[in-house]
Amino acid sequence: MKTYSITDTGILREMNQDYFFASDEPVGNLPNLYIVADGMGGHKAGDYASRYTTQRIVASVSRNPGDEPVTILKEAIETANKLLITESAEDESKRGMGTTLVAATVIGRHLVVANIGDSRLYIINRDIRQITRDHSLVAEMVRIGEVPVSEARKHPDKNIITRAIGAGDDVDADFFEVDLNEGDRILICTDGLTNMVEDQDIRDIVLQNIPLEERVELLVRTANRNGGKDNITVMMIE
């Protein structure tokens, strides 16, 4: 397996509140671990939230003696959520901070993914498949048929997310388990990519016959060329 990741501030934002962690080597009892987080909260709180949460999850996974990947990730997310809420209660400047999270591990041909918020994990082969389900107001309106799919990306309420780490005492992550096929590429990213680049264009770039690093760079460059309105994080595993 080969992994390459970039996080970029984008064109419009002054700070990068995204954060990522990637290890192709074991972390505790998981054979590898991939995390992308998009922090929110004013004045340095957002970047603190995404970094702190990622680091707490890595620490918790490292120490967990269990052997069930979903349970290991679930316990790590619950621990990180509690710690983040404590941090935000203790420090006025961090009040209300939170973060999205995608955490994934590949066990042989089996992918396990945890998701909270609107960062995404895709599997790209001939087609592009979004595995995670966005926890956003607009995505929920699409699911109940109030907003057509074609209008979702441009919707004014696009940024309202309905679940986040740090938003409450109970954190409700979705888990997805997928069997991987030969040639599947895994893409984990924040909304700074997906709001700027259409899924089909993401697919076309991922399938180009150039080195992994150049394709990841091209995804970031395309998001910036299309406006770069938010921080952009792209992680590709193949």
Retrieve residue 47's tokens: 């970047």
Residue closer to Mg ion (CB basis): 134 or 230:
230
Residue closer to Mg ion (CB basis): 28 or 39:
39
Residue closer to Mg ion (CB basis): 51 or 105:
51
We find the least distance from the C-beta atom of residue 221 to Mg ion, in angstroms, to be 17
**Segment near Mg ion (CB under 5 A); pick from 43-51, 106-114, 163-171, 191-199:** 191-199
**Segment near Mg ion (CB under 5 A); pick from 52-60, 85-93, 164-172, 229-237:** 229-237
**Segment near Mg ion (CB under 5 A); pick from 20-28, 86-94, 135-143, 185-193:** 185-193
Residue 87 in the binding site for Mg ion (CB under 5 A): no
We find the least distance from the C-beta atom of residue 162 to Mg ion, in angstroms, to be 15
Q: What Rg do the C-alpha atoms of the chain give, in angstroms?
A: 17
Residue 230 in the binding site for Mg ion (CB under 5 A): yes
Residue 134 in the binding site for Mg ion (CB under 5 A): no
We find the least distance from the C-beta atom of residue 121 to Mg ion, in angstroms, to be 15
We find the least distance from the C-beta atom of residue 19 to Mg ion, in angstroms, to be 11
Binding residue for Mg ion (CB under 5 A) from 8, 47, 87, 191? 191
Residue 38 in the binding site for Mg ion (CB under 5 A): yes
Q: Following DSSP, what letter does each residue of the chain receive, concatenated?
A: --EEEEEE--SS-SS--EEEEEESS-BTTBS-EEEEEEEE-TTTHHHHHHHHHHHHHHHHHHH-----HHHHHHHHHHHHHHHHHHHHHH-GGGTT-EE-EEEEEEETTEEEEEEESS-EEEEESSSEEE-S---BHHHHHHHTTSS-HHHHTT-TTTT-BS--BTSSSS---EEEEEE--TT-EEEEE-HHHHTTS-HHHHHHHHTSSS-HHHHHHHHHHHHHHTT--S-EEEEEE-
Binding site residues, Mg ion, CB under 5 A = 38, 190-192, 230
